[in-house]
Structures are given as C-alpha cells and as structure tokens.
Amino acid sequence: MHDILIEEKILSENDAIAEANRHAFNEKGVFVINMVSSPGAGKTTLIEKMTPVLLDKLGRFAVIEGDLEGDLDAVRIAKYGVPVKQITTGKACHLDAHNIAHVLSWTLDQDARLLIIENVGNMVCPAEYDLGEDMMVTILSAAEGDDKPLKYPAIFNASSALIISKTDLAPHTDFNISTARTNALSINPELQIFETSCRNGEGIKEWCKYLCSRVLALRGPVKTNR
C-alpha cells in the first residue's frame, strides 16, 4: 500500500488558467469584472444602463455573456454597439477559466480597457471559479431577501463590491436596504456597496464612477480573496 501525499488544490487547473488569463489581461491593460447574482437580479439591465456612462468615460469596453442557453443577453448588449461575446455553458451553472481562455484572443483584440463578464445567474457555484478577474461584483436585488448575504456567504466573501439593485422596489417589499448592508458587511467588512435602480437611474453614475476609477488607476497586484 502506498500513501501518496499530494496536497494540491482540487481546482488548481482552473486557478492556473485563471492566472494566465489575468496575466494576459494585465499585459494589455484590461480591467476585468466578474458580475454574479441569482437569476433575475438585473445584471444585463444594469450593464445596459451603465453603457452610456462607460462609453463616455472609457470610450470603449467589452462584454462577455454567460448563459446556459441562447444569446438573448448578447443581442441586448450588441444593440448599443458594444462588442459582446456569448458563451453558452450547456448545463454548467457557472463560467470557468477555460470558458474565458477560449475567448481570450477575441477579448484582447477589442482594444477595450474594461471587460465585463456577466456570469451565469447563480449565487453558489461561481464563488469557487476564478476567471482571472480583477474584481468580483455581486448584485442583490430588493426583490430578494435582505438576509441573502448570510445564506450565501461564499459569494459575498469572494466579492469586492456589492450592488443592491432595484432599490425603487424596496418600499413595496420587506427588503430593508440597511439590513442588507449590515448583513453583507458582517460577512465581508471590505465590501464596497452601491445602491442602484435601473428604473429611475439612482446610483448608476456613482457605481460607474467608482468602476472607472478602478479601471483608470494604476494596476497593482490582484487580491482575489478566494
């Protein structure tokens, strides 16, 4: 009998590819965000509303859309003249670093300083899969529960920003924005939190301003918090 010591991260292959992606983005000066949320929190709509502000501040940015099936989200983004690539994962509930590596050369050819990756709507699995991003951003809508950070700690821990979306709905639901903030910060005290409404435009500019400052800042070493 052999007892063979391995001591390796189970997702080491994904992590190595993610690191190669990160290096390639870094070399080309592309800042990458990985947007995650449960289905229906409003990721695509938020990107649509961010588009004019980002085009104004950055000139150009690119989007990768991750979905189980179809290209509905990519069609929506393409209408704004933003370069977009759809990845369909089939039955996989998250994007992984391979998925991004497959479209890496397309991404680098877009001459963009910002790449927004819209992950598959899921608050569990994307937490484990580094894509090579600089920043993971979680969206939590006011149509959900304000206790969600306590129920899905891994994703809130892995994120560096939280966007509380659909704030215009909050007065009509039991969602308490202040409770959501407290819960999110109890899991991850370093979270940057923004409140947005795509209906009335609240907070979109503030969030974009922060994002653009990160894009335009000199790039330092990346801390993924995984």
Partner 1 sequence: MHEMGIAKSLLEIIKREMKKSKVKRLKKVRVKIGELTAVEPEALRFCFEASIKDTALDGARLEIEDVPLTGKCHDCRTRFRFQHFVSLCPVCGGKKIEKLTGTELDLVSIEAV
Q: Which residues bind partner 1 (CB under 8 A)?
A: 1-14, 92-94, 96, 124-125, 127-129, 150, 152-155, 157, 186-189, 226
- In the bound state with partner 1, the residue whose beta carbon lies nearer, of 57 and 94, is 94
Q: Nearest-5° angle of CA 103, CA 221, CA 85?
A: 15
Q: Least separation, in Å, of the C-beta of 127 and partner 1?
A: 4
Residue closer to partner 1 (CB basis): 74 or 95: 95
Q: Give the nearest distance from C-beta 138 to partner 1 in angstroms.
A: 13
Task: Mention every residue, 6+ apart, whose C-beta is less than 8 A from residue 155.
Answer: 36, 123, 124, 126, 127, 136, 138
Question: Among residues 112 and 155, whose Cβ is nearest to partner 1?
Answer: 155
Which C-beta is closer to partner 1: that of 123 or that of 211? 123
Least CB distance to partner 1 at residue 123 (A):
9
User: Residue 166 and residue 168: Cα distance in Å, rounded?
Assistant: 5
Write the single-letter amino acid at 21: N
Q: Which is nearer to partner 1, 15 or 71 (CB)?
A: 15
Exposure letters 90-124 (e unless 16+ CB within 10 A, then b): eebebbbbebbbebbeebbebebbbbbbbbbbbbe
| Residue 182 burial (CB count, 10 A) | 12
Min dist. Cβ of residue 5 to partner 1 (A):
5
Shortest spacing between CB 126 and partner 1, in angstroms: 8
Q: Least distance in Å: CB of 105 to partner 1? A: 25
Q: Which of 22, 16, 219 is nearest to 117 (CA)?
A: 22
- 35 in helix, strand or coil? strand
Nearer to partner 1, 2 or 172 (CB): 2
SS3 127: helix
Q: Are 121 and 37 in contact (CB under 8 A)?
A: yes
Task: Give whichever of 151 and 219 is closer to partner 1, judged by the CB atom.
Answer: 151
Are residues 202 and 179 in contact, defined by beta-carbon separation less than 8 angstroms?
no
Least distance between partner 1 and beta carbon 169 (Å): 27
